[in-house]
Structure 1
Amino acid sequence: MAEDGMLLNFAISDSVIKPEAKFKGGTWRDRLSAKKRAQHRPQPGDGSKQNNESKNPNKIAIPGTRPTKRQKTTESREFPDSGDHDRRSRSQQHPRHFVSSLFTSNPESQHTEEPKNDEPMEDAKPTNAPLIDGIDTFTNLGLSPNLAAHLLTKLELKAPTAIQKASITQLLKEQSDAFIQAETGSGKTLAYLLPLVDRIMALSKATKEAGVHRDSGLFAIVLAPTRELCKQISVVLENLLRCANWLVGGTVIGGEKKKSEKARLRKGLNILVATPGRLVDHLDNTQVLDVSNVRWLVLDEGDRLMDMGFEEELQGIVKKLDARQRPSRVPGVPTRRTTILCSATLKMNVQRLGEISLQDAVHIKADPEDEDEQTRNANKDEEESFRVPAQLKQSYAVVAAKLRLVSLTAYLKRTFLRKGSVMKAIVFVSCADEVDFLFEVLSRKHGERGQKKNDDDEDDEENDDEKKEKEQEREQLSPHGTIAPGNAFANPANPVALHRLHGSLPQHVRTATLNSFSKSKDASVMVCTDVASRGLDLPNVDLVIEYDPAFSADDHTHRIGRTARLGRDGRAVIFLQPGSEEKYVEILKRGYRDGGKALTRTDATEILKRGFGGNTEASSKNWEEKTTDWQMDVERWALDNPEYLEMARRAFQSHIRAYATHIAAERSMFNIKELHLGHLAKSFALRDRPGKINVPGLRPGKEETKKDFKADRGGALGRKRKADGAAGDTMSSTDDATREAAREASRKMRAKVKEHMSAVNEFNLA
């Protein structure tokens, strides 16, 4: 045998040279590139490069054999194709090792951190607490003794707040329109309900013969932007009317059965709480709804009513009430209608709503004498003040896009580490798909396997058992699947119930979930959209987390207003990405009466050390390993379960779409062009490249659009040629019906996509 057919490399021992595995998969471009790189590798003994080549056994070429393709590493490709992963996972001979890159290539903060003041700050005096000087009571404000006693004995309300004192005094004294402006959490609902109920109760005294009852007619209408707020107002109203059981209140809101609402209206109501859209529907189609006696109209959360596009409906309601008003048969009923507008801000759209509904209105604010000197000085500039309660402690966290999900989990871990430290927390996000995704991630256990089919029957049975156990656990907490244990962050010694709430859920599910969260006496977390940001008084909410910044500064004010209500303490934190989003801090500082000195800052490193390492001063990197392990576990869980992978993709696309809807004045801070989509995809447990994350129903990429256009043009050309070949210009009735059906289907599809992409549909209101 000739020896010249063998080439030996004596620079490397035989123990180092190992047979290389042939990796398959990937796109044809990747395979072609790997082939070219293998063909152009220099041979051993080429001089200066020999030492470098000898260090890597993968670069040894053997004559007469096909060059082996080089394995693609995760450092060069952070988001591999999920289809490739599935193909390789079916072959267990050479499993792929994926290396996470959570802590690499993250952008640095562009703003230097201000030096912290080590001196302890004095606790700010609550600005929305009831007056405790002992002089002002509900009886002294002019309310009837029965109603004042009911507030004290049944509702345990001893003293009014500053805005309640100003509103009740004014609305009982004069019958004029009013604009009530007060910071969130100050008790505006009672500020207009108490004088309204007191005046209607007074009508019973004027009517000595039969008195006022449910058949006497409808006297007042309260409009609110969301169904949840209507429900809450209705509960407060029912509590007040227990001292006057001859008066009846009710609601008409979207999502409820109109048949039952008509039956309720037919029986008779004295005070009606409604959303604008449903009230317009009943005014046009329900004959039993008689508004001739309506003498009080309340527009609660006026800025939100205008933001959600209810201007046309509100104009129609005001015109219909004016046109249908008649002299009342009940003695003591005023001759003109009183309209009350409530809002925490005085924006241009609120002024526009005032022009539509108010006449010679009185501007009602808290009396400066009831506020401390610091609050009086801050309220001089109405334009710059967001009316944030002084006792609310705010902070912001600068978190890179890749670290968002692990940082949220770490923050919740630290928050609920000890039992009793925090009772309830709310996590606000921008879209409903993201709510569903976070709900699944935060309720899963570490190491929980997906529902992927395996070759081993025992593994399949184990997966089925885990799925059944998880479903049974959720059914025990909620039959609707909106409540689950917070396994991802809760301490076993301190279990936490996780809730989800958004506008795409059915109304009865939204109501049941919100009631469960409100009445829960155990630690709870609710992940929700802005559907729960307005006017809701949720007891014992200690913490508000803005995982996604609000679409406007006013929405931010209402979000954090779910805590620190009626003088109670509260905390709020907002997640901001490094870069232009950090400019939002200047807007946050405007809401403070001390110029933002109490606003504190933290970063992702500190949060992760506290959550996964337990100590911010830890010098070891153990917290990095735990963080990476948790992230990798979530990514494997998503890849192994097609249902959750699709959910993550939808959440990613919906989040980007919602990110582009910030108001124009703040769009420079939240510039969608500055988003790193690859890093952002990692916070949704995705390993796909952003360009390959396509979701049905959402906007396709450029390549797909071109293909659809060419296909459509080719089809149109074919149809034209077929039409030209037909005799004459007449078309058969069958062809007409086919084209009409196609056009109708196209219109329905466009309407469905438009509805899906509509921002207002997120809240599913009216």
Structure 2
Amino acid sequence: MTLKTNTKAGTFASLDPPITPWIVDAVAAMGFSQMTPVQANTIPLFMQNKDVVAVTGSGKTLSFVIPILEKILSLERQEKSEIRAIVVSPTRELASQIFEVFSSFIRCQPTNSDQAEEDPKSVLQDASIPPAVKAMLLIGGTGPRSIKKDLIDFREGGADVLVATPGRLEEFLLGYSSLSKGKQKSTSSGKPHINLKALEILVLDEADRLLDLGFAPVLTNVMSHFPKQRRTGLFSATLLNDGLTELIRVGLRNPVKIVVKVQTDKQLVTEDDRGPSGLINYFLEVPKVAWKMPQLIRLLNQMVIPKPKGDGAHKFIVYFSTCACVDYYYKILSQLPELQTFAVYSLHAKQSPTRRSITFNSFKTSSPSTPTLLLCTDLVARGLDLPDVDAVIQYDPPKDVRDFFHRIGRTARVGRGGKAVVFLQSGRELDYTGKNKKSKMNLGTVRPNSLETDEEADDLNNRIKAIVKTDRDLHDRAINAFVSYIRFYSKHEASYIFQLKHLDLLQLGFEGFGLIRLPKMPELKNYQGKDGPLTPEGFLRNMTDFDVSLNDASRLILPLLKAI
């Protein structure tokens, strides 16, 4: 069954069936009163014991948190070893955020003492007071002994709700992880050593992302141990995926598919195709690949300047194509005097969990008095609630056009305004604006204060080269970033637009990445650029000014490093 609706969303207090008063109060305390279309259509169905498949939209997390809480509150007291609900999320950051939402509700939960203050006799009716709802976070990468600590904490205190990443959930429930090296097998009978008989609700959040990251075998394994008579909610940015179709077939029973439609001036479009209502969306044409980084720096400084109305931007997210590009440009931008007033952070999936957690929290809680810049990959594109982001800059257009909308959705949230800019090089890349217009996304044009000559860009690029040639580690990072970008570009989903043969690879390497030499790779074999052929070692034949600082020229003859 598919439910397509453009019904206006009402208030949380107007839900039918109604939700518990203290939950309404908790939602209000979070600053929400009006529901989003996803919430208005998903919450009632989930509360009526329907399996739900929903295309993600604004307010998705409350769409399953509220029904889970309502279900737990409606049940009789349980043994502390019984689990009532499990929420599976693809990343540690998203799982942590969902857990914080549960925690916000739990902190608002009335206690027995609250009841006693209102009615002294209520303490005598203890059996009628709903038990305290408890939630537990299970995420991997938090230390070798943490799984043992998780099990001890659960056995001592119990938990109604588990919010988990797939690998840690499998290890917690079954005693082993199929994601571990060597694909460890369980030393037990293969049955769960945690009681799952009381499980009422399973939520698969960002399900398409779960499959993209290779978690399908883990999900299938874990779900095979869950009760058949449960409610399942699947939330995904897209449903056009064979893996998702199979997951829905085996994991859900007669689900209601919810596709929220929102009325625009001309036609109905899905909520996910619109972008935030307060968003101003631009593209910036970059005439030369050598100007791309200078234009980014100029744009950041232009946007952060306080305007007469006080609307200067202070919190920025800049998306790059690969982890290696994030690592390299983080090192570079942190050293440039043009950004000395900015607090610069980097975040991607190959960083340690501890660093990711510290970076995420630091950026999220950064002071509005200091311009803050987060360089990241699409790890930060989906689902995460980063408050007060003023601008999103897509330095590299995403491989999957759907991630374009996920990225820009990090700004202009909860009624705020915001700006989004995607960088496109002159030529074929400008056709990308037409691709997005087909997706109901109109892009305006923006230009930073014009670069009238090449001198300004050349000055910055030469300073970047000067930094790179004095730091062997940074030069290695530059090579990794260059190689990873070439591979990203050559495998772009919009291959009819992003074609490697139209890129000036020499200018990209020497100017865009500040390289002193280019690595040996198939894409550069016999390459003839505008600046002439390369030497066998990867230098330009007319290059004579890069023999300073690196005394031993052989140090530059680096092996091709594996791209991150």
> Could you tell me the TM-score, scaled by structure 1's length?
0.58
Deviations 1:317-352 (A, max 9, x none): 221214xx7xxxxxxxxxx20010112323124333
Distance 1:343 1:255 in 2: 25
Gaps of 5+ in 2: 112-131, 177-191, 527-535, 537-559
Residue 442 in structure 1 maps to residue 330 in structure 2: no
Correspondent of 2:317 among 426, 437, 440:
426
Provide closer, same or farther for how the CA distance between residues 357 and 568 of structure 1 changes in structure 2, counting only shifts above 3 A.
farther
Residue 167 in structure 1 maps to residue 42 in structure 2: yes
Q: Deviation of residue 608 (structure 1)? A: 5.2
Provide closer, same or farther for how the CA distance between residues 158 and 212 of structure 1 changes in structure 2, counting only shifts above 3 A.
farther
SS of the equivalent of 2:339 reads coil
SS of the equivalent of 1:531 reads helix
Correspondent of 2:66 among 174, 190, 194:
194
1:425/1:541 contact within 8 Å kept: yes
Gaps of 5+ in 1: 1-126, 326-335, 447-487, 614-620, 708-752
Q: Deviation of residue 181 (structure 1)? A: 2.1
Q: Deviation of residue 427 (structure 1)? A: 0.4
SS of the equivalent of 2:195 reads coil
Residue 338 in structure 1 maps to residue 214 in structure 2: no
Q: Deviation of residue 607 (structure 1)? A: 2.6
Correspondent of 2:88 among 223, 230, 233:
223
SS of the equivalent of 2:445 reads strand
Distance 1:578 1:531 in 2: 28
Q: Match for residue 650 of structure 1?
A: 480
Q: Match for residue 607 of structure 1?
A: 448
Deviations 1:215-238 (A, max 9, x none): 151011111111111011011111
Structure of greater Rg: 1
Q: Deviation of residue 553 (structure 1)? A: 0.8
TM alignment of 1:319-398, pairs within 5 A: 319-322=224-227, 336-349=229-242, 350-366=244-260, 371-374=262-265, 377-379=267-269, 386-398=273-285
Provide closer, same or farther for how the CA distance between residues 686 and 146 of structure 1 changes in structure 2, counting only shifts above 3 A.
closer
2:305/2:313 contact within 8 Å kept: no
Q: Match for residue 671 of structure 1?
A: 499
Q: One-letter code of the match for 2:70?
A: D
TM alignment of 1:563-712, pairs within 5 A: 563-592=411-440, 596=441, 598-602=442-446, 606-607=447-448, 609=450, 621=452, 624-663=454-493, 666-690=494-518, 693=519
2:393/2:421 contact within 8 Å kept: yes
SS of the equivalent of 2:390 reads strand
Distance 1:264 1:661 in 2: 45
Distance 2:426 2:475 in 1: 27
Over the aligned positions, Cα root-mean-square deviation in angstroms equals 2.9
Distance 1:650 1:532 in 2: 21
Deviations 1:620-677 (A, max 9, x none): x5x64333222222212222232322222221122212223323xx222222333221
Deviations 1:676-704 (A, max 9, x none): 210111344435343xx35xxx999879x
Q: One-letter code of the match for 2:275?
A: V
Q: Match for residue 187 of structure 2?
A: none
Q: Match for residue 414 of structure 1?
A: 302
Distance 1:639 1:303 in 2: 42
Q: Match for residue 136 of structure 1?
A: 11
Distance 1:199 1:254 in 2: 28
Q: Match for residue 100 of structure 2?
A: 235
SS of the equivalent of 2:375 reads strand
Q: Match for residue 489 of structure 1?
A: 339
Residue 273 in structure 1 maps to residue 163 in structure 2: yes
Q: Match for residue 152 of structure 2?
A: 263
1:225/1:304 contact within 8 Å kept: yes
Q: One-letter code of the match for 2:66?
A: L
Q: Match for residue 247 of structure 1?
A: 133
Deviations 1:282-332 (A, max 9, x none): 33316643222111010111221222222222222221214xx7xxxxxxx
Q: One-letter code of the match for 1:432?
A: C
Q: Deviation of residue 426 (structure 1)? A: 0.4
Q: Deviation of residue 263 (structure 1)? A: 2.4
Q: One-letter code of the match for 1:252?
A: L
Q: Deviation of residue 558 (structure 1)? A: 1.1
Worse-superposed segment, 674-683 or 234-243: 674-683
Q: Deviation of residue 421 (structure 1)? A: 0.8
Provide closer, same or farther for how the CA distance between residues 700 and 543 of structure 1 changes in structure 2, counting only shifts above 3 A.
closer
1:266/1:288 contact within 8 Å kept: no
Distance 2:504 2:264 in 1: 46
1:428/1:528 contact within 8 Å kept: yes
Distance 2:209 2:432 in 1: 22
Provide closer, same or farther for how the CA distance between residues 608 and 136 of structure 1 changes in structure 2, counting only shifts above 3 A.
closer
2:99/2:136 contact within 8 Å kept: yes
Provide closer, same or farther for how the CA distance between residues 507 and 136 of structure 1 changes in structure 2, counting only shifts above 3 A.
same
Q: Deviation of residue 411 (structure 1)? A: 1.2
Correspondent of 1:298 among 193, 199, 203:
203
Q: Deviation of residue 163 (structure 1)? A: 1.6
Deviations 1:582-621 (A, max 9, x none): 22212211332xxx5x42124xxx4352xxx7xxxxxxx5
Q: One-letter code of the match for 1:587?
A: K
SS of the equivalent of 1:179 reads strand
Deviations 1:196-228 (A, max 9, x none): 11110121xxx3xxx347x15101111111111
> Higher relative contact order by CA 8 Å / sep ≥ 6: 1 or 2?
1
Provide closer, same or farther for how the CA distance between residues 351 and 161 of structure 1 changes in structure 2, counting only shifts above 3 A.
same
SS of the equivalent of 2:448 reads helix
Q: One-letter code of the match for 2:355?
A: V
Distance 1:702 1:161 in 2: 54
Correspondent of 1:516 among 354, 362, 367:
362
Distance 2:83 2:496 in 1: 49
Q: One-letter code of the match for 2:165?
A: T
- Aligned identity (percent) is 30
1:548/1:575 contact within 8 Å kept: yes
2:291/2:457 contact within 8 Å kept: no
Q: One-letter code of the match for 1:645?
A: H
Structure holding more strand per residue: 2
Q: Match for residue 114 of structure 1?
A: none
1:385/1:591 contact within 8 Å kept: no
Q: Match for residue 717 of structure 1?
A: none
Distance 2:515 2:347 in 1: 27
Q: One-letter code of the match for 2:303?
A: T
Q: Deviation of residue 500 (structure 1)? A: 0.7
Distance 2:410 2:220 in 1: 30
Distance 2:138 2:303 in 1: 39
Residue 403 in structure 1 maps to residue 291 in structure 2: yes
Correspondent of 1:181 among 55, 61, 70:
55
Provide closer, same or farther for how the CA distance between residues 263 and 590 of structure 1 changes in structure 2, counting only shifts above 3 A.
farther
Q: Match for residue 181 of structure 2?
A: none
Deviations 1:560-595 (A, max 9, x none): 111122333222111122233222212211332xxx
Q: Match for residue 542 of structure 2?
A: none
Distance 1:317 1:344 in 2: 23
